[in-house]
Amino acid sequence: MAYEAVDAPDSILADKAVDSSVQIELLREAAQEIARSEVSDAVTQALNEFSGSLRQLQAISGLDPAFVSRLARGLNKQGGTVASLAQIALALDKTLHISIE
C-alpha cells in the first residue's frame, strides 16, 4: 500500500503490513508536511497583519528576511523551530500557542 506524505498518521500506523522503519519514515514525512503548512499559514497571517517590511522585521527580530520569507511560503523543509517562531511572535508583539490535540 502506498502512502502520501500527508496521509493521516492513524492510517499509516494501522497498516500492519508496513515495516516499522517504513512507518517511522512515513510519519516523519507527514510531520514535516504538517509543520511546513502550519508554519506557513501562521507566519503569512502574522506578516499580513504587520505594517512593516521584512527588513523592518529583521531589525527588530534579528531573523534573516529570506528565512522568514521561506517560512511564509512553506519552503523551509523543517517548518521552522519553536524558537524562531517565538522570535517572530515576540518581534510582532504577538503570542505563540502550541497544542497537540
- H/E stretch holding 59 reads helix 54-61
Between CA 88 and CA 77 the distance in angstroms is 18
- pLDDT, tens digit, for every residue of 67-81? 999 999 999 877 789
Please give the model's pTM, rounded to 2 decimal places.
0.75
Between CA 46 and CA 87 the distance in angstroms is 12
Contact 65, 55 (CB under 8 A): yes
Give the end-to-end CA distance of the chain in Å, rounded to a whole number: 27
Residue whose C-alpha cell reads 502550541 in the numeric block: 98
- pLDDT, tens digit, for every residue of 2-39? 434 455 556 656 666 667 888 889 888 988 888 889 99
